[in-house]
């Protein structure tokens, strides 16, 4: 008989505690975090090096997961004798962006592309050892390029570049802020595995159908000064004969070479198309397959915080207002069951009204409606089942689960 995976749930709701006793404080979210961890951290032994996968949030995003919750994870691991380290990977792309509002006032976003800027945002958001009790390590290196290539038999991808530093650890606790996503519909544990644990190469291959390529019919060394070669930060471009060549295993899709200032020959360097909603899900679920199968899925435990459930992800600077009330904290050994339980709670919850540009409040969506899909401003071709269908094809877990309330 096959047993359904257990998903532990600490429901939302905190009692205002004038009297700070156990009856009141047991409803505190930090206390509930520990109660969930006590149920799932059964695989950590004394001396284990434990990677705590986190997402520190983009600059100017105020809905990222508070570092207080990560501190509780660190404390629970230490009390079991484990040695925790927060782990992160660099974001997709190469450059930060400055936005001017008025004279003397501007903001800078997209800081998560290299370790120097990424670490500054991490510290600003409390993701450092002084606050959490554990150091932060970028497991894919300074620029997000340090990876170990793993062969898989995925739905769309046949190899995955996983952050090299992940292989240094004995156990893994994946900490996720559950929220919406413009293409994948939602982001939870599966996305932390499939996007947050791979190098820029496979982040790019999730978001785009292919790497940047050279059109050999158009490219010719007589038409330019070969500025594409020095423009590449990873030296993926070289000249062979009368054409440029891009090494597909080295390129990670930074698009530096595609600027008209670099390549004056129109059509010589071809940008790939952006993946649609179904394909991005299948591709990052393929990435997740690479992570779990190469490291060992029995080494992983997962906890989702369903607070500040915005329509957009923590990778963007302005993710919008929450679309449902806080839904609590959930933990499991099965990332598929865990994310499915979170989606089921989101569907069953009432929606929250939002203030329109006209100054009027919208009517909240009722219980029974999947809010992320209905409210998605970028695409109507989003579906929560894309992730789950791909995860089932790759045998990553179960969408059937037993929900146990803490």
pLDDT tens digits, 295-312: 999 999 999 999 999 999
Per-residue pLDDT, 238: 94
- Structural domains in the chain? 6-207+275-405 (3.40.50.11440), 213-270 (3.30.70.20)
Encode 137-175: b = buried (16+ Cβ within 10 Å), e = exposed.
Answer: bbbbbebbbbbbebebebbebebbbbbebbeebbbbbbb
What residues pair up with 263 in beta bridges, in sequence order? none
Q: What is the DSSP string of 168-184?
A: G-SEEEEEEE-EEETTT
pLDDT confidence band for 368 (50 / 70 / 90): very high
Per-residue pLDDT, 1: 45
The rounded distance, in Å, linking the Cα atoms of 338 and 20 is 32
34-38, 194-198, 377-381: least confidently modelled range: 377-381
pLDDT confidence band for 379 (50 / 70 / 90): low
- Classify 143 in phi/psi space as left (phi over 0), alpha (psi -120 to 50) or beta: alpha
Per-residue pLDDT, 157: 97
Per-residue pLDDT, 188: 98
pLDDT confidence band for 41 (50 / 70 / 90): very high
Per-residue pLDDT, 43: 97
What residues pair up with 9 in beta bridges, in sequence order? 330, 405
Q: Which residue, among 200, 182, 78, has the nearest Cα to 138 in the 3D structure? A: 200
Per-residue pLDDT, 14: 84
Q: Report, as an integer, the average pLDDT of 93-98.
A: 78
Residue 237 has pLDDT above 80, yes or no: yes
pLDDT in tens, 60-86: 999 999 999 999 999 999 999 999 999
Encode 316-345: b = buried (16+ Cβ within 10 Å), e = exposed.
Answer: bbebeebbbebbbbbbbbbbbbbbbbbbbb
- Residue 348 and residue 368 in contact, taking contact as beta carbons nearer than 8 Å: yes
Residue 2 has pLDDT above 70, yes or no: no
Q: Report, as an integer, the average pLDDT of 19-33.
A: 88
Expressed in angstroms, the distance from the first to the final Cα of the chain is 26
The rounded distance, in Å, linking the Cα atoms of 225 and 237 is 14
Q: What is the SS3 assignment for 353-388?
A: CCECCCCCECCCCCCCCCHHHHHCCCCCCCCCHHHH
pLDDT in tens, 105-150: 988 888 788 999 999 999 999 999 999 999 999 999 999 999 999 9
């Amino acid at each position: 008989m096959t047993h359904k995976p257990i998903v532990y749930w600490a429901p939302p709701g905190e009692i205002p505690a004038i009297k700070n006793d156990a009856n009141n404080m047991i409803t505190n979210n930090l206390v509930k975090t520990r109660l969930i961890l006590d149920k799932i951290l059964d695989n950590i032994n004394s001396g284990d090096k434990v990677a705590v996968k986190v997402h520190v949030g983009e600059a100017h995003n105020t809905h990222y997961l508070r570092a207080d919750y990560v501190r509780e994870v660190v404390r629970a691991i230490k009390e079991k004798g484990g040695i925790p380290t927060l782990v992160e990977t660099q974001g997709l792309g190469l450059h930060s962006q400055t936005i001017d509002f008025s004279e003397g006032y501007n903001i800078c976003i997209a800081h998560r592309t290299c370790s120097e800027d990424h670490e500054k945002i991490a510290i600003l958001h409390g993701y450092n050892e002084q606050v959490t009790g554990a150091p932060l390590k970028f497991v894919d290196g300074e620029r997000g390029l340090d990876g170990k290539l793993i062969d898989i038999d995925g739905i769309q991808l046949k190899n995955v570049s996983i952050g090299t530093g992940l292989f240094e650890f004995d156990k893994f606790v994946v900490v996720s802020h559950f929220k919406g996503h413009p293409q994948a519909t939602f982001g939870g544990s599966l996305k932390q595995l499939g996007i947050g644990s791979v190098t820029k190469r496979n982040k790019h291959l999730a978001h785009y159908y292919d790497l940047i390529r050279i059109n050999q019919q158009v490219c010719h060394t007589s038409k330019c000064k070969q500025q594409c070669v020095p423009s590449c930060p990873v030296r993926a471009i070289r000249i062979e004969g009368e054409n440029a060549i891009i090494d597909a295993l080295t390129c990670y899709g930074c698009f530096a070479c595609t600027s008209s200032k670099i390549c004056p020959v129109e059509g010589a360097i071809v940008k790939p198309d952006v993946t649609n909603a179904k394909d991005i899900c299948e591709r990052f679920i393929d990435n997740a397959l690479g992570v779990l199968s190469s490291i060992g899925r029995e080494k992983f435990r997962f906890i989702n915080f369903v607070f500040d459930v915005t329509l957009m992800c923590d990778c963007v600077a302005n993710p919008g207002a929450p679309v449902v009330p806080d839904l609590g904290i959930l933990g499991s050994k099965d990332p598929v069951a865990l994310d499915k339980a979170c989606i089921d709670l989101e569907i069953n919850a009432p929606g929250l009204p939002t203030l329109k540009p006209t100054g009027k409040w919208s009517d909240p969506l009722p219980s029974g409606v999947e809010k992320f899909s209905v409210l998605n401003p970028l695409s109507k071709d989003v579906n929560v089942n894309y992730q789950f269908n791909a995860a089932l094809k790759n045998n990553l877990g179960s969408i059937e689960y037993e929900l146990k309330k803490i």
